[in-house]
Structure 1
Amino acid sequence: MNIEVLISCMHQKDASIIKRSNIQSDVVVINQCDENREEKFEFKNKKGEICHARIIYTTDRGLSKSRNMALEVSCGDICLICDDDEILSDDYPCDITKSFEVDSDVDIIAFQISDSGKNFPKNKRNIGYIGALKLASWQLAFKRNSISNNNIKFDETLGSGVSKAGGEENKFVYDCLRKGLKIIFAPITIGRMIESESQWFHGFTPEYFFDRGIMTKKLMGRTLACLYAVYFIFKKYPLYRHDINMTSAINKLFRGIFARE
């Protein structure tokens, strides 16, 4: 199986992100910047294998739009989503390939990324709707045909550039589950995060809670979103209590849930 990495980034001056991210396979880079052009070239990985790179420089904006553009031009058997603050391990192509060979009926595998601030399960497990809420896009590798054949895309009304609360990866995984795709978590580390400033999260602001209300309604529908909102408000209180009081947070969250689209 051919592994292809899909990187979303902004304002990159050249192709150095490929080396910086330790890409050891084919790669598509969507670079949102101030010009429109495309660049293709070949490079050798650490094993001396020829890899193909495609960089699309675009004036479009929005993380979900970037992800969708990468999906449209991708051609790998297995695609791996990667952020610009992620460094992949040398053996990620082999680790990902073996995982899909072992679980040949699986469409999407969520892997471990170290230094990401997330707590990962110790054992392999199936991912359902509750588990999907804990996933990040940079964990995900998927069979490209499973996504394209079901016409699954990232919701361009969510994600960095259009929303303060992210959630585009959760909506993507929810859509996959609704289409009957099988998703698992594999306790295999394929890379690590490097410290950088988030492009979308700028604190627990009123706008964050309002956008999160919109996002959870898209995921769950209004009734379940209301129930989840109550859980979220109390569960995350230690994280946001220095930024906004609980009353204001829940007010904005419910305003988002009941906002007209």
Structure 2
Amino acid sequence: MIVKPTLEIMISTMNRSDLSFLGGMFPDMDLSLYSILIINQTKLNQDLVSTTEGIRVINSREFGLSKSRNLAIENAIGDILAIADDDIEYLPDFNKTILRAYKKYDQASLISFQFLDENDQLQKKYSKSEGYTTSTKRPLSSVEMTFRVKDVREKGIKMNENFGLGTSFPSAEEQIFKDSLLRHSLRVAFYAKPILKHSRKTSASNQGTPGFIRAITAQKYLVYKNWTYLWLLKYVLFLYRYEYISFFEQPKAYKIGIKAINDIKILENEA
């Protein structure tokens, strides 16, 4: 008998005292049909509590988005874990779309999807080709990501806690996670269907900000090591060419990248 994999939705949130926010995430949906794990990083004296079957809550006094997601990886009970933020809106039958993708690409340990903006348009440009991929260049948003928990646990793969919101490298943790799967010879796929709506701009749309430059440069250092200095020169020219920064901002952007390389070197040596 073929056993269908189970899906669990992991939601990272902060300072919550009730579950009312779930109504916006799952509009007109029966929550009893879903398995949900909420990681509530909180400074409040009152913990978030769930009395609803199928909705589990872990309250944590540690902060950082990657720490939240690692806690979910440790405590997940579903076969497939979908990463969610507390300000997204899932589309009808999103769960069926995810499970359909894992049936089609049954060798995949990670499958990414599309998501829409507030106008029901694709939030960003996606690959024209669907299927298995080994590309490390395609930008990835966390809410697009789903993965097989068993595969990730067996390889000891976690989110890099030096990256993500709440750290000095506030993005790029998704790409590092995906790269880790590929390095461990796990298969990654892209399924060209949207599963949610998210009005907030992606980090890739703010490439000229100091935080993004820091994070992407540090992430590239983990891959390219000393070749990152050459990559950084090309990247600064790219930012200028596509008008993310002005001509006069190029030296500043390069200095931000150099400091990011030095900082990630220190963190890696400490680890």
Distance between the aligned counterparts of 1:239 and 1:65, measured in 2? 34
Q: What is the Cα-based RMSD across aligned positions, in Å?
A: 2.6
Q: Which runs of 5+ in 2 are unaligned?
A: 267-271
Aligned to 1:42: 52
Q: How do residues 91-240 of structure 1 correspond to structure 2 at under 5 angstroms?
A: 91-115=93-117, 117-131=123-137, 133-195=138-200, 204-206=208-210, 208-218=212-222, 220-237=223-240, 238-240=242-244
Distance between the aligned counterparts of 1:209 and 1:120, measured in 2? 22
Q: Which runs of 5+ in 1 are unaligned?
A: 44-51
For 1:42, what is the secondary structure of its paired residue?
Answer: coil
Distance between the aligned counterparts of 1:80 and 1:207, measured in 2? 26
Distance between the aligned counterparts of 2:211 and 2:88, measured in 1? 27
TM-fit CA distance, 1:172? 0.7
Preserved CA contact (<8 Å) 1:155 1:172: yes
- The CA deviation string for residues 206-229 of structure 1, in whole angstroms up to 9 with x for no partner, is 4553444323212x1323423332
Q: Which moved more, 1:207-216 or 1:4-13?
A: 207-216
Q: Which moved more, 1:244-253 or 1:18-27?
A: 18-27
For 2:51, what is the secondary structure of its paired residue?
Answer: strand
From the superposition, tell whether residues 211 and 111 of structure 1 become closer, same or farther in structure 2 (CA, over 3 Å). Answer: closer
Letter in 2 for 1:72: E
Preserved CA contact (<8 Å) 2:108 2:132: no
Distance between the aligned counterparts of 1:240 and 1:114, measured in 2? 23
Q: How do residues 12-23 of structure 1 correspond to structure 2 at under 5 angstroms?
A: 12-22=16-26
TM-fit CA distance, 1:38? 6.0
TM-score (norm 2): 0.82
- Richer in strand (by share): 1
Equivalent residue in structure 1 for 2:85, among 83, 86, 89: 83
Distance between the aligned counterparts of 1:110 and 1:61, measured in 2? 26
Q: Which moved more, 1:1-10 or 1:235-244?
A: 235-244
TM-score (norm 1): 0.85
- Report the identity percentage: 24
Preserved CA contact (<8 Å) 1:87 1:194: no
